């Protein structure tokens, strides 16, 4: 069974290390994964009491109907109605999601990218990543 909370914490540490070493593409890739893990942790925390903390599949019925959103932030938000409702009230936060998920291309696909972003693009991404991370962590404690 996946432990998204622990994965979030480890990927966050990885992202910080990559950032401190000026590994911009890798930091952006892992930053995207960091947010993905945090979202999946928040989704699982919203599962009904008594339900197994596993994704619903064709062959698995864990006591809820929530399937794995994959690497899509939009799909993840569609699986957490209260979080999605909060984001819908803050268009700026929605933009942060878009900028972290797809800074120049989807964060998952960045693992194949070889050209570092320019300083301004990276600084913009880092700012949005840090804002989104703080905002989501605040939501995780109040949802």
Alpha carbon of 86 to those of 107, 120, 136: distances in Å? 24, 29, 10
User: Cα–Cα distance between 47 and 86 in angstroms, integer?
Assistant: 18
Q: What is the pLDDT along the chain (143 residues), one digit of tens a residue?
A: 689 999 999 999 999 999 999 999 999 999 999 999 999 999 999 999 999 999 999 999 999 999 999 999 999 999 999 999 999 999 999 999 999 999 999 999 999 998 999 999 999 999 999 999 999 999 999 98
Give the HSE-up count for residue 76: Cα atoms under 13 Å, Cβ half-sphere: 23
Contact in structure between 53 and 1 (CB atoms under 8 Å): yes
pLDDT attached to residue 66: 96
DSSP 85-143: HHHHT-HHHHHHHHHHH-SSS-TTGGGG--SPPPHHHHHHHHHHHHHHHHHHHHHHTT-
pLDDT attached to residue 143: 84
Residue 102: is it exposed, middle or buried by C-beta count within 10 angstroms (0-12/13-18/19+)?
middle
């Amino acid at each position: 069974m996946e432990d998204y909370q622990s994965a979030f914490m480890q990927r966050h540490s990885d992202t910080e290390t990559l950032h401190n070493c000026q590994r911009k593409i890798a930091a952006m890739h892992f930053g995207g994964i960091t947010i993905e893990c945090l979202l999946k942790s928040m989704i699982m925390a919203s599962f009904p009491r008594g339900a197994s903390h596993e994704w619903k599949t064709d062959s698995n019925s864990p006591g809820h109907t929530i399937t794995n959103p994959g690497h899509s932030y939009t799909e993840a938000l569609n699986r957490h109605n209260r979080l999605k409702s909060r984001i819908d009230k803050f268009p700026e936060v929605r933009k942060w999601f878009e900028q972290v998920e797809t800074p120049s291309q989807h964060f998952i696909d960045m693992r194949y990218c070889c050209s570092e972003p320019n300083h301004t693009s990276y600084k913009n991404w880092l700012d949005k990543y840090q804002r989104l991370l703080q905002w989501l962590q605040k939501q995780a404690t109040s949802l």
